[in-house]
Structure 1
Amino acid sequence: MLGLLFMPQAAGHAQERSLSVGMYPSYPPLDMRNPQTNQLEGFDVDLSRALLERIGRPLDIVETSFAQLIPSLLTERIQLFFNGMMDTPARRASIGFVDYLQSGLQFITLANDPLAPHSLPALCGKMVATSRITSEPASLIAWSNAHCVAQQKPPIELFASENSADARLQLREGRVVAVLQDSLTAPWTIAINTGLFQLLGEPFELTPLGIGLPKTDVHLQCQITAALAELQADGTYHALIRKWNLPESSAIAPLPTQPECTPHAP
């Protein structure tokens, strides 16, 4: 079994040094700080502990900004990072990724509002808010072209908000009929705003999110890939998805074993 290649060192051997794991605690429910305890928590925190336990390496969380995650990895200040970063070809030019979740976009409307759209076609011709500092406005226009304009219906009117929180404020104040936001955060938003919002439709434009690692450290990539597959197989991975109220659509299937991770016969 692949997992046997990366078991913790046997008793009597020197314990391996800790791995410095970068996180930016501003992406609930993946990475955040508990306001009561001031402790870091979230899906990424729990998953990183479980993964490193599997490979026998102590965890050392290093807080950094999102913009510094890749530079910190390249300068060896950290050995890997979590933060729900999209795995893109441009980023793979400089770092490696082990994909561990996928995220898309999803509409949110007001709950218990008789005037709220109750179907996706009902969004056509209506005002919908989304954060202008993301790629979401372009995605909203593309969705409108495909599902409204192409069906001879009026296009969605875009309300470019300052951020996701501002978009939800516009929804609460009745300036828009829906919000388009990250599908990973949508269930969390609904859970912490009891009875205020509801989901409309299913997530779309699902994109893989990766654990960032040094491009040249193939051994570590193999270790993390094998450990993640074990957590998926024994139910730990899906239990954490449920614990942190992530949508089922965020789960990914175990990654295929790469040739460089396969042991060669003697």
Structure 2
Amino acid sequence: MSRPLRALAATLIGVGTAVSLTGCVSTTLPGSAAGADKLPPSITKDKQLKVALSPDFPPMEYRDDKTNALSGVDVELARALGKKLGLKVIFEEQRFDQLMNSVATSRVDMVMSGISDTVERQQTVDFVDYFKTVGRLYTLPKRAADFRGRQDVCGKKLAVSKTTDYYGQALEFNKKYCTGAGRPAIRILPTDSGAAARLQLEQNRADVAIQGGENLAFFDRTEPGRFRAVLQPLPAKPFAVVVKKDDKAMAALVTKGFDKLWADGTYQRILKESRMSYGATRPTFNGVKN
């Protein structure tokens, strides 16, 4: 999953308003009403919530350069969630490609690491959607003028993390605007991470890349002028908490916690502090349908 300028933050807020990402209604969990106030058996004894994440995806989860402390929007939301539910949050750091299996095999209670809800992934795990991410094409400032229209990406080298949903969006973009329109195919360079994609761009091995708008806005705050977003945002996709398949008690607990964070304004405050209010959404169970 997945990673411009200060102007981008304002642009993204405008985008969020235009596509009306806020105010979605929670989806009721089948058969969850009776036990919605009870703790799942896996956490009843120790009152601990084990949360897996891969801290290499700022501003969602990362290690602070100065303090080395675990930081990020997901970290703050998970801690706030635990507080609301009366649970101690224990973070377990893992490689991104281990996260889904970790929750599927009950080594952790949930994953919160900028993971997109998809129909394919719903076959093996369940999701509680909590944020709408907007993917962006971006490049180095000196190359920004090269990309005035979608057709300008055709025939170019595009770097994107193969472990994120942005890889699939790159394939869709290529099919719709390039090969499907009789233009040269995009030369997609799959990488192991968003950081690796950025490196490909900075070493001039790629012409353009794809990352979440929130990640680019973060880099604009910490390293102004390093990258420049180009063209229009890609379709919004939901980030979600991942829970074990058919663990309705855990999914209900997470949904309840997020509803409480929304009701008292904690959720909105955390997003606003990171300039991510554009992606605010009420918790939704397996919200992606196609």
TM-score by length of 2: 0.69
Look up the match of 1:33. 63
- Provide the identity percentage: 25
1:247 to 1:150, Cα distance in 2 relative to 1, 3 A? farther
Moved more, 141-150 or 86-95: 141-150
Residues 85-135 of structure 1 show CA distances to partners (whole Å, capped at 9, x for unaligned) of: 222334333332211123342111333x48623633462556242226356
Secondary structure of the corresponding residue to residue 222 of structure 1: helix
1:177-231 per-residue CA deviation (whole Å, 9 max, x = no partner) reads: 5322233422223333212322223321322222112334323322221221232
Residues 21/168 of structure 1: CA separation in 2 closer, same or farther (3 Å cut): closer
**Residue 211 of structure 2 is aligned with which of 172, 181, 190?**
181
1:68, 1:217 → 2: CA distance? 19
The aligned counterpart of 2:221 is: 191
Select 1:205's aligned residue among 226, 231, 235: 235
- Residue in structure 1 matched with residue 11 of structure 2 by the alignment: none
Instruction: Decide which of 87, 101, 109 is 1:71's aligned counterpart.
Output: 101
Which protein is richer in helix relative to its size? Answer: 2
Give the equivalent residue in structure 2 for 1:93: 123
Q: Which letter maps to 1:160? A: L
Distance in 1, matches of 2:205 and 2:244, equals 46
> Deviation at 1:44?
0.9
Report the CA distance shift for 1:247/1:123 in structure 2 as closer, same or farther (over 3 A). Answer: farther
- Which moved further from structure 2: 26-35 or 239-248? 239-248
2:159 and 2:189 in contact (8 A); partners too? yes
What is the rounded CA distance, in whole Å, between the counterparts of 1:114 and 1:57 in structure 2? 48
Please state whether the residue corresponding to 1:54 is helix, strand or coil: helix
Q: 2:255 aligns with which of 225, 230, 243?
A: 225
Tell whether the 8 Å contact from 2:73 to 2:274 is kept in structure 1 after alignment.
yes
Matched to 1:195, the amino acid is G
* Residues matched between the structures, number: 246
1:55 corresponds in structure 2 to 85
Q: How far did residue 138 of structure 1 move?
A: 5.6
Aligned to 1:259: none
Contact 1:25–1:63 at 8 Å: present in 2 too?
A: yes
TM-score by length of 1: 0.74
Does the 8 Å CA contact 1:95/1:212 hold for their aligned counterparts?
A: yes
Structure 2: state its 5+ residue gaps: 1-32, 286-290
In structure 2, relative to structure 1, the CA distance for the partners of 1:164 and 1:222 (3 Å cut) is closer
3-state SS of paired residue (1:100): strand
Following superposition of structure 1 onto structure 2, how do residues 30-179 of structure 1 map, counting pairs within 5 Å?
30-111=60-141, 113=142, 116-117=145-146, 119-121=148-150, 123-125=152-154, 127-131=156-160, 133-134=162-163, 136=166, 139-147=169-177, 154-155=183-184, 157-158=186-187, 160=189, 162=191, 164-169=194-199, 171-172=201-202, 177-179=207-209
Q: Secondary structure at the match of 2:231?
A: strand
Q: What secondary structure does 1:116 align onto? A: helix
Counterpart amino acid of 1:252?
A: T
Describe the shift of the 1:234–1:200 C-alpha distance in structure 2 as closer, same or farther (beyond 3 A): farther
- Please give the secondary structure, in 2, of the residue aligned with 1:62: strand
Contact 1:148 1:156 in 2 (8 A): yes
Higher normalized contact order (CA 8 Å, seq sep 6+, divided by chain length): 2
Instruction: List alignment gaps of at least 5 residues for structure 1.
Output: 9-13, 257-266
| Contact residue 183 and residue 247 of structure 1 kept, 8 A | no
For 1:255, the equivalent position in structure 2 comes to 284
Structure showing greater radius of gyration is 1
Cα distance, 1:70 vs structure 2: 3.0
Taking the aligned partners of 2:143 and 2:120, their CA distance within structure 1 comes to: 45
1:20 aligns with 2:50: yes
Question: Could you say if the C-alpha distance between residues 81 and 114 of structure 1 is closer, same or farther in structure 2, counting changes exceeding 3 Å?
Answer: closer
State the distance in 2 between where 1:56 and 1:132 align.
Answer: 36
